[in-house]
Chains A and B, each alone.
Chain A
Amino acid sequence: MSLSISIQHSFDGFALDVSFEVPKGLTVLYGRSGSGKSTIINAVSGLIRPDNAKISIDEQVLQDSGAGIFMPAYKRKLGYIFQDSRLFPHLTVTRNLDYGARAARRGIDTVQRERVIEMLGIGDLLDRRPLGLSGGEKQRVAIGRALLADPQLILADEPLASLDAARKAEILPYFERIRDETGIPIIYVSHSANEVARLATTVVALEGGKVLRKGPALDVLADPTTMPMGVGQVGAVLNVRIKAHHQDGLTELDASGDSYFLPHVKADIGTNLRVRLPASDVMLATTRPSGLSALNIVAGRVEAIQDTGASSAIVTVSTRAGAVLARVTRRSVSAMALDVGVPCFAIVKTVAIASDT
């Protein structure tokens, strides 16, 4: 499957001009509101008709303005997961799940339905109506409904944005499972660096209607020049493996020879994980610090320094496991005589588990 997208569209004084290919896996359209990410998936879905666009899945053309082709939304085989679940209030959960199959006058694949119901854990909800469901339950049903529409592409428009942190944590794993188990490509709109770090195979960073950068998730997130969401969200993502669970409740992670310690992580030794190190929670030292409460201190070398404002800078430190980003003041940069190639130590205050890989 290859999805190719090229859109030029202007509305309300905003111009969108993007062109990119979507590879398999989960592609996050990442940017702040107004960057054009929702417009892109609405154009792919056919819910809006952009001024000028060429969108195709393999040989199938969804829209080609030049040739006057526009396939209406209902003929495109998609599963769209909306931020506000949009379940049909007058139908039971079962009827919501079956809506796609009934609309297509297609027999209901009960085996597939059982699998989806089991995967999403919605077996107890089947006879209920959407109004009585919690936000997390609604969103799980909405995911199931999209999956059961037999889609060749899944679109998700900030599906977690209206949920609280606990519900987000409840729903996130399902997207990982869809990504890993169904093989259906997913376009996922988000402005959350955590969701990107956890879910993305590929990131398309958008700003002001243009593609700022596109590439494998780890590369894009480790690049301080790619900051569509502002400096606050910059942070490196590392691939790590669980090395040991210690007596004092800490879990030791191995990152290509560097060790990181975290409060107990519920996973077996040997499990591969992604962790995110927000740049604002990383300090630098030119000598190995002692007498410090921080546990996670790794050695590296300054790879790049990027000014991000009048007083601050992002320093990229290459460590054995890859780039670690630190947000420091420019005063510190000059006081510590940091420069490309200078050896240094990164003191990492926060290590957040992003996902299993």
Chain B
Amino acid sequence: MLLDFSPAEWQAIALSIKVSFVATLFSLPLALTAAYALARWDFFGKQFLNGLVHLPLVLPPVVTGYLLLVVFGTRGPVGAFLQDWGLVFAFRWTGAALAAAIMAFPLMVRAIRLSLEAVDPKLEQAGATLGASPVWIFLTITLPLSVPGILAGTVLGFAKALGEFGATITFVSAVPGQTQTVPSAIYALLQVPGQENAALRLVLVSVVLAMGALLLSEVLARRTMKRMTGV
């Protein structure tokens, strides 16, 4: 049977979902902050921040992975520090999640920034004249009005995290059960003759997960839009 997954394949699928979920969860608040800063504030070094955010999008993933290894590896400055606090990235699923989060980050920031910029500042001004503080305005006007974009960005980030390969394999290798996500499992299977069927199964899983995520984001965005404006 084509869809008869082996335990190792299930393991890769479950791990991929866990890694992507955690990566997205932790990226979201940071992406929201970065997107808001880029969309609404003028500050010294804004272009630098913008470049930094987008760097993972344009760097070769292997370079990103290597830099992660240097910084977050057991001997890296941040990695060594976090290790003292019990958080280890090297060759662990947490490292895969970190790599996925960093690779997904620019996509999330871009989508969220666009939706924040689409919120009419005139509405925020109206909120201010009605006595709403900046935080209250953000929570009751800016954030609800950009929910469709934030959802789209989140799903896009999740899909990107699912597909992350280059940075992950460079940073944390492909340890089955720890860091071997679906893409690296497919890669490993393709290196061995006669495993085409197994590889094909995982390829199908990737396609289904990615399509599902995209459809979900469409549905959610449409529903929120409807709930918010009544059309």
Contact = CB atoms under 8 A, between A and B. Distances in A.
Are A and B physically bound partners?
A: yes
Interface of A: 45-47, 72-80, 82, 84, 86, 88-90, 99-100, 102-104, 128-129, 131-132, 145-146, 149, 155
Contacts of B228: 89-90
B136 interface: yes
B129 interface: yes
A86 B230 CA distance: 17
B131 A77 contact: yes
A90 B140 CA distance: 10
A73 B125 contact: yes
Contacts of B191: none
A103 B230 contact: no
A75 B130 CA distance: 9
Given A88-B123, A90-B145, A74 B230 contact: no
A39 to B, nearest CB: 14
Contacts of B192: none
A74 B126 CA distance: 10
18 contacts: A47-B128, A73-B128, A74-B131, A74-B132, A76-B129, A82-B126, A84-B122, A86-B122, A90-B144, A99-B130, A100-B130, A100-B131, A100-B132, A103-B131, A129-B231, A131-B230, A131-B231, A146-B129
A216 B130 CA distance: 30
Nearest to B125: A47
Highest count of chain B CB atoms <10 Å: which of A77, A99, A129, A146: A99
Given A89-B228, A90-B144, A128-B230, A149 B131 contact: yes
Given A47-B125, A90-B228, 9 more contacts: A47-B128, A72-B128, A89-B228, A90-B144, A103-B131, A103-B140, A131-B230, A132-B231, A146-B130
Contacts of A149: 129-131
A74 B133 contact: yes
Interface string B10-39: 000000000000000000000000000000
Contact of A86 (B126, B132, B133): B126
A169 B126 CA distance: 25
A110 to B, nearest CB: 18
A88 B229 CA distance: 9
Interface string B102-128: 000000000000000000001101111
Nearest to B147: A90
B129 A79 contact: yes
Given A89-B228, A149-B131, A103 B145 contact: no
Interface string B189-231: 0000000000000000000000000000000000000001111
Nearest to A98: B130
Contacts of A104: 131
A103 B137 CA distance: 8
Contacts of A45: 129
B229 A80 contact: no
Instruction: Return the 6 tightest CB-CB contacts between A and B, nearest first.
Output: A129-B230, A90-B228, A103-B132, A80-B129, A86-B126, A73-B128
Highest count of chain B CB atoms <10 Å: which of A72, A89, A102: A89
A102 B133 CA distance: 11
B80 interface: no
B127 A103 contact: yes
B129 A89 contact: no
Nearest to B224: A90
Contacts of A146: 129-130
B229 A89 contact: yes
A318 B128 CA distance: 49
B226 to A, nearest CB: 10
B141 interface: yes
Nearest to A129: B230
A79 B230 CA distance: 26
A149 B126 CA distance: 11
A76 B230 CA distance: 32
Nearest to A145: B130
